[in-house]
Amino acid sequence: MACYRPRMTAPERFRLPITVQPGDIDEQGHVNNVVFLRYVQDVATAHWRSAAPPADQAALVWVVVRHEIDYKRPAHLGDRLVAETWVGPASRRTFERNVEIRGEEDGQVRVRARTLWCPLDSRTLRPTEPSAAVRERFAVPGTLER
C-alpha cells in the first residue's frame, strides 16, 4: 500500500455566482430543494472544468454516489447567491466535496452540502483511480490511496 503524499495547504475554495430564475421556484414561492441540489452539482462541475487540465477532463467523468444536504434558509426569485465549493478527503475511489450556498448580499447560508463523487474512465464508464495530479488537486491532505 502506497501512502499519498498530500499538499500541506488548505484546499482552495471555488465560487460560482447564481441568480435565482423563475424556473427555480416551487409552489411555495422559493427555490425548490431539487434546484438547490442542481446548484450543488453546477458549482462542482464548474470547479472541475476550471481547475483540471483538458487531458484529465477528457479521461475522467464524475458521478455522485452520495448527497447530504441541509436546507437552512429559503431563496427567492431574483436572489443573488454565491455557491462555494472545496474538496475534502478521498478514499481510493470516492472524493468528498463540500458546498455552501449563501446570499450574496446578506451572507446567510441557504444550503450546506457534502457530496461523494466517484471518478469514471470516460471510455469505459467504469470506476477508475485518477492520476496523482488529480488526487493532489481534488483531495485534502492526509488522504490515503489503497
Q: Hey, what amino acid is at 55? A: A
Query: What's the confidence (pLDDT) of residue 146?
Result: 44
Q: Please return the burial class of 105, using the count of CB atoms within 10 Å of its CB with bins 0-12, 13-18 and 19+.
A: exposed
Instruction: Report yes or no: 44 and 114 within 8 Å, Cβ to Cβ.
Output: no
What is residue 87's predicted lDDT score, i.e. its pLDDT? Answer: 96
Digit-by-digit pLDDT tens for the chain (146 residues) are: 333 344 445 678 999 999 999 999 999 999 999 999 999 999 999 999 999 999 999 999 999 999 999 999 999 999 999 999 999 999 988 999 999 999 999 999 999 999 999 999 999 999 999 999 999 999 996 655 44
CATH superfamily of 14-138: Hotdog Thioesterase (3.10.129.10)
Predicted pLDDT of residue 81? 98
The confidence score (pLDDT) of residue 10 equals: 63
Task: Determine the length of the chain.
Answer: 146
User: Whole-model pTM?
Assistant: 0.87
29: region left, alpha or beta (phi > 0 left; psi from -120 to 50 alpha): left
Residue (of 21, 19, 87) closest to 48 by Cα position: 87
User: What is the grid cell recorded at 120?
Assistant: 469514471
